[in-house]
Structure 1
Amino acid sequence: MTKKSSLNPKTTKFEFGGVLGTMVMTVALPILSVILNQMIRPDYHIEGCFRNFDWNRVTQGLQPVSGLISNTRTWTYYILWFLSLLFFDTVLPGKWMQGITLRDGSSLWYKINGISVVAMLSLILAVRWKLTDGLMPELQYLYSHQVELCVVSIIFAFILACYCYVVSFIPLLFNKTNKEGTKEKILAVGGNSGNIIYDWFIGRELNPRIGPIDIKMFCELRPGMMLWLLINLSCLHNYYLEYDGKINDALLLINLLQGFYILDGVLNEEGVLSMMDITTDGFGFMLAFGDLTFVPFTYSLQARYLSVSPIHLGYVKFFSILSLMCLGYWIFHSSNSQKSKFRQGKLSHLKSIQTKRGTKLLCDGWWAKSQHMNYFGDWLISLSWCLTTWFQTPLTYYYSLYFATLLLHRQQRDEEKCHEKYGKDWEEYQRKVPYKIIPYVY
């Protein structure tokens, strides 16, 4: 009993407003995702999209969704997409890497094969383009049925979260034991409250797996991220067909900016192994919904808006937005790289604070400017995406506002965690690096 409580302590601190807050979010976030998708439709083109929003049109547009459970074609496409990526992740070549050391002293192995998966999907798209003479009926279906596919992904995320919650109670099988000599699985510190609704939402098990597939990392990088890329391409493809081979510069730019961001994340997936989502959070409805629904169906709003309300940016706006994206990426990438190299002992000349735990807190270079300089770069990237729609609608700026809220929440979680972990050493660090995200502002 002692071993059990030491390995998986009971959750005492509740996030997101506790049980009531998670219940509200479970209902509200899926509804928000559907409404955001419904607000941008091909038949809104003449009416000006968000500017003449009509709730009656939303209600009418949602009527087909009521029959989604029996819509076998939409379900078939989505499940085939999910299973195909699972298959590619399993069979395509890649390298194996160990994750961080877990609470029981063990570390899990992860297959890193993003390059192989991207190459395979690129080959499939190229073949389909050739065989269909550029018509690409699958992309056309994706473009025309995004609301239905959004709802399917919500239901799928709900089912997956239920599965992960149930299997979290099943002990380690096949005579396996953890480092503590028990068959107990490692649970997320924040998802072991004993309340079914809260633990299901936050995620009870830290690293649910099916064979060699880590469900959490797979969902983080494969179905949602790659679907986001395909949705953007479907918007560009539809515009290309509708306007007889012409390409809109704003729509092209958002495809380039977000496409680079997506591929950079997938091709450098080993960086995810040290992220809070993988190391700390359990996999419940919050992450399942975020990865499978929120990412592909709300992060693509700019491309979808530009496909029905084209904007001509011109050279000055085009390269100004591109420059902002490059600045954000430079800050994001170089600050992360600097911290990674410091942890590997490659930048020992940089100033740091030696903690009583034996580790060092970097307070030099990028990390002398703010405690989360990488967050600032990431937010600048999000702002550049929104600017591709210029100031024609506030709808597409939802993403930058949401992302700022997300980063603030992560910063506060990290600050609380570091204060508990380092104590007075963290207080000294805060005195040396007072700004949390934006230098000289916050």
Structure 2
Amino acid sequence: MAKQSKTAGKSSSSKEQTVLNPRTTKFEFGGFPGALVLTLFLPVFTVLINKQLTPDAVFSTDPFYYLNPCRSKELWIPYLAWFAGLAVFDLILPGKSMFGTVLRDGTQLRYKINGISNSFLLILVLGMRWQITDGQMPELVFLYEHHIELNIITILFAFYLATYCYVRSFIYVNREPILALGGNSGNVVYDWFIGRELNPRVGCFDIKLFCELRPGMLLWLLINLSCLHHNFVVENNFSGVNDALVLINLLQGFYIFDGVLNEEGLLTMMDIATDGFGFMLAFGDLTFVPFTYSLQARFLSIQPNDLGPQRLALITALMALGYYIFHSSNKQKSDFKQGKLPQLKSIQTQRGTKLLCDSWWGMSQHINYFGDWLISLSWCLTTWFVTPLTYYYSIYFAVLLLHRQQRDEEKCSEKYGRDWVTYQKRVPYKIIPYVY
């Protein structure tokens, strides 16, 4: 009898887990073939576009050099120290505790939000190194000279990290972890690419949130600074600096610190709330962000472009407009969800929630995406029209935002049903008011 009761308990638990972690039936990026193509294409693309924009960059073409840490330890040791150091600081630096969104099992994960203390520490360290080295900053020189080689190291590290997270999603003690709805297909390559586990953690250390804002975003900042340092110190011996290179550092530096300082906003975003952590996010966070978002600075360090006062003002104004739309619309939605703006028009749904359709959110369904895209365009304009390659980012970002909008629309259509149809009639434009 005891044996039968135990078996019945297992059967009941199995049914609960099937409901909690249903099999993935809808595939993105064309399923397995698309995931395989992107896994092979995107890493090669990041290396080739950086090589194209900086033809004088030197790097080894022997893949076994990078795969063997003993041979390439001068690259692996600094990067691992960077990643591990940031992880330690993320754990020990002070910050506030916040809960994430409610998960499918009714629980909420606790997150430590300490972007302010992390940012302050980085600025302090950079300032001290500038003083100690009399502006020579050997770390920035190393980063600049080994730019493409470090690009390759981050690709391999993203591969290893994604593999670790995939394997550990099958290893558990008490109960199966919550899996991403999109990464539980049973196909090894596809699930590894999309991400099988929703929130992989080592103790209280959340791998996904950490990778979203720390090693990649801050490395992007350092790459930009290395380009500025190369132009100001190495090329001009402290005697002059290119205005376009200064501007891209200021614009992107502001954007990076704004993102890190407002990291709590990530807790409700798609990357954290619904996507698993696989190669797609690992590569995107650790490689794609630092080594393609910095293309404008990298190009300008090789081919300086003097913009002049009028162009500087135009680009700055475009960035300011984009940021204003992005920031104010996001704040408005956040305030509305907290009940601070009851006067705004909304649609009461059968689920008991409200769909905001007034002010910024009466102009388009994703007006914040439009602001974010204007920001991306302002960055590309710092290279003016010298080369079309630096405009890849704005084009890529437009495609990314369109993909996210379509994913969100599909999810909301299933979630709200007829209420979503009513909402679309009230707010017909998807991203750009009166255009799309």
TM range (shorter): over 0.9
In structure 2, how many angstroms separate the alpha carbons of the residues matched to 1:256 and 1:153?
A: 25
How far did 1:356 drift?
A: 0.4
How far did 1:126 drift?
A: 1.3
How far did 1:66 drift?
A: 5.0
Which letter maps to 1:147?
I
In structure 2, how many angstroms separate the alpha carbons of the residues matched to 1:352 and 1:62?
A: 58
Equivalent residue number for residue 51 of structure 1: none
How far did 1:65 drift?
A: 5.6
Give the SS at the match of 2:98: strand
In structure 2, how many angstroms separate the alpha carbons of the residues matched to 1:122 and 1:64?
A: 36
Equivalent residue number for residue 6 of structure 2: none
Say yes or no: does 1:233 pair with 2:225.
yes
How far did 1:40 drift?
A: 2.3
Q: 2:215 aligns with which of 208, 216, 223?
A: 223
Unaligned runs of 5+ in 2: 1-13
Counterparts of 1:368-383 in structure 2 under 5 Å?
Answer: 368-383=362-377
Contact 1:38 1:61 in 2 (8 A): no
Equivalent residue number for residue 55 of structure 1: none
Give the SS at the match of 2:430: coil
Contact 1:65 1:148 in 2 (8 A): no
In structure 2, how many angstroms separate the alpha carbons of the residues matched to 1:221 and 1:427?
A: 35
Q: 1:14 aligns with which of 8, 27, 36?
A: 27
Q: 1:243 aligns with which of 212, 229, 236?
A: 236
Equivalent residue number for residue 98 of structure 2: 97
In structure 1, how many angstroms separate the alpha carbons of the residues matched to 2:300 and 2:351?
A: 51
Equivalent residue number for residue 57 of structure 1: none
Counterparts of 1:66-215 in structure 2 under 5 Å?
Answer: 66-68=64-66, 69=68, 70-171=71-172, 173=173, 183-215=175-207
Q: 1:391 aligns with which of 367, 385, 392?
A: 385
Q: 2:56 aligns with which of 33, 43, 47?
A: 43
Which letter maps to 1:254?
I
Which letter maps to 2:117?
S
Unaligned runs of 5+ in 1: 45-59, 176-182
How far did 1:127 drift?
A: 1.4
Give the SS at the match of 2:383: coil
1:154-209 CA distances to partner (integer Å, 9 max, x unpaired)?
Answer: 000000000000010112x4x5xxxxxxx121000000001100000000000000
Q: Which TM-score applies when normalising by structure 2?
A: 0.94
Give the SS at the match of 1:43: coil
In structure 2, how many angstroms separate the alpha carbons of the residues matched to 1:65 and 1:134?
A: 35
How far did 1:211 drift?
A: 1.4
Contact 1:370 1:435 in 2 (8 A): yes
Equivalent residue number for residue 417 of structure 1: 411
Which letter maps to 2:17?
K
How far did 1:64 drift?
A: 5.8
Say yes or no: does 1:63 pair with 2:56.
no
How far did 1:244 drift?
A: 2.1
How far did 1:37 drift?
A: 1.4
In structure 2, how many angstroms separate the alpha carbons of the residues matched to 1:310 and 1:278?
A: 38
Q: Which TM-score applies when normalising by structure 1?
A: 0.93
Identity %: 67
1:90-140 CA distances to partner (integer Å, 9 max, x unpaired)?
Answer: 111111100010000000000000111111111111111111111000100
Contact 2:162 2:279 in 1 (8 A): yes
Contact 1:418 1:426 in 2 (8 A): yes
Contact 2:59 2:146 in 1 (8 A): no
Which letter maps to 2:286?
L
**Size of the alignment, in residue pairs?**
418
Which letter maps to 1:148?
E
In structure 1, how many angstroms separate the alpha carbons of the residues matched to 2:126 and 2:55?
A: 24
Give the SS at the match of 2:315: helix
Contact 2:347 2:423 in 1 (8 A): yes
Give the SS at the match of 1:234: helix
In structure 1, how many angstroms separate the alpha carbons of the residues matched to 2:244 and 2:75?
A: 30
How far did 1:76 drift?
A: 0.5
Counterparts of 1:314-353 in structure 2 under 5 Å?
Answer: 314-353=308-347
Q: After the TM superposition, list the runs of 4 or more consecutive aligned residues in structure 1 that deviate by more than 3 angstroms.
A: none
Contact 1:37 1:147 in 2 (8 A): yes
Q: 1:33 aligns with which of 22, 46, 49?
A: 46
How far did 1:38 drift?
A: 1.0
Say yes or no: does 1:304 pair with 2:298.
yes
Say yes or no: does 1:407 pair with 2:405.
no
Contact 1:201 1:286 in 2 (8 A): yes
Contact 1:42 1:308 in 2 (8 A): no
Which letter maps to 2:236?
Y
Say yes or no: does 1:263 pair with 2:257.
yes
Give the SS at the match of 1:15: coil
Which letter maps to 1:360?
K
Once superposed, what is the RMSD of the aligned Cα atoms?
1.1
Give the SS at the match of 1:191: coil
In structure 1, how many angstroms separate the alpha carbons of the residues matched to 2:138 and 2:25?
A: 51
In structure 2, how many angstroms separate the alpha carbons of the residues matched to 1:339 and 1:122?
A: 31
In structure 2, how many angstroms separate the alpha carbons of the residues matched to 1:216 and 1:231?
A: 22
1:344-389 CA distances to partner (integer Å, 9 max, x unpaired)?
Answer: 0111110000000000000000001000000000000000000000
In structure 2, how many angstroms separate the alpha carbons of the residues matched to 1:229 and 1:360?
A: 38
Contact 2:95 2:112 in 1 (8 A): yes
Give the SS at the match of 2:97: strand
Equivalent residue number for residue 54 of structure 1: none
In structure 2, how many angstroms separate the alpha carbons of the residues matched to 1:65 and 1:258?
A: 32
Which letter maps to 1:243?
N
Contact 1:302 1:386 in 2 (8 A): yes
Give the SS at the match of 1:361: strand
Give the SS at the match of 2:343: coil
Contact 1:65 1:151 in 2 (8 A): no
